[in-house]
Structure 1
Amino acid sequence: MQSNQNQLQHTEEIRVRFNETDPLGIVWHGHYITYFEDGREAFGRQHGLTYLDIQKAGFVTPIVKSTCEHFLPLKYGETFRIKTTFINSRSAKLIYQYHLYNGDNKLVCSGETIQVFLDSDNNLCLYNPEFFQAWKNKMELE
């Protein structure tokens, strides 16, 4: 679903697994970053920009910055939605914002990740790789 000229979004539903919780049944804070990854992967499948697509083009995209703000806890057995939004940038990077909502549609957590492109020699790309620019053009993000 395209929300405007500079953003694409995808929403995925996830169930909290037992191994993601502490002895009180509350999700351990470190798992929220994993939920962000789940959101990125679902976004990539929906919009044609998976990690395998990036790897096939000869690049990797390490995370260089991540932020996460917690507002409410998630508990074992709950189902929640993660809304992942791609933030368009002229820079050679992937910027994603995340919003997690519980079953009552209350904001549980929000965050952002920034990834950069490294070529097969682990050199930082200062310009959009050709495959990524082609994807942005296809998505009408320019």
Structure 2
Amino acid sequence: MIRAEVELTVPFFDIDMLGIAWHGHYCKYIEIARCAMLDKIDYGYMTMRATGYVWPIVDIQLRYVRPARFDQRIKVSAELVEWEYRMKIKYLITDAESGEVLAKGHTVQAAVDSTSGEMSYASPAVFLDKLGIKPDAP
């Protein structure tokens, strides 16, 4: 449905003692792709907050297939795959030149009312509207 892809170069300061990108930096890489995807529907984090909701990550899964290395060009894609009760986004990190898979995974985010702090068990109408989906009327 909604998808974005970004291209990044692994910087020197992301490299660990083994000469590969430290696993924790992959969260940063998928965050950049997630922001690009959300910007496509005009529902970035500042817009979320302005509409009264925040969407904390409640689950993250990453599977590391091959290491990313210093100065390597990588592609990171983010695709929204669930939106009715939560926001589930799948990710794929590949070598930009060869297409070789480096990592894959997903995040799950839940809508939380920014005033009350209450978690919503259904996606807010404002989010569905950004997706072009009209919620069913009662």
TM-score by length of structure 1 reads 0.87
- Pairing partner for 1:50 from 44, 55, 60: 44
Unaligned 5+ residue runs, structure 1? 1-6
Q: How many residues are treated as equivalent by the alignment?
A: 133
The corresponding residue for 1:122 is 117
Residues 10, 84 of structure 1: 8 Å contact kept: yes
> Identity over the aligned pairs, expressed in percent?
23
Opposite residue 63 of structure 1, the aligned amino acid is I
Inter-partner Cα distance in structure 2 for 1:16 and 1:121: 40
What is the correspondence of 1:93-104 to structure 2 with a 5 Å cutoff? 93-102=86-95, 103-104=97-98
- Pairing partner for 1:87 from 81, 90, 101: 81
Inter-partner Cα distance in structure 2 for 1:40 and 1:128: 17
The corresponding residue for 2:55 is 61
Would you say 1:131 and 2:123 are equivalent positions?
no
Distance 1:133 1:62, change over 3 A: same
Residues 83, 123 of structure 2: 8 Å contact kept: no
The corresponding residue for 2:104 is 110
Inter-partner Cα distance in structure 2 for 1:11 and 1:133: 22
Inter-partner Cα distance in structure 1 for 2:55 and 2:92: 21
Pairwise CA distance, 1:128 = 2.0
Moved over 3 A (4+): none
Would you say 1:40 and 2:40 are equivalent positions?
no
Deviates more, 1:7-16 or 1:41-50: 41-50
TM-score by length of structure 2 reads 0.89
Inter-partner Cα distance in structure 2 for 1:34 and 1:49: 19
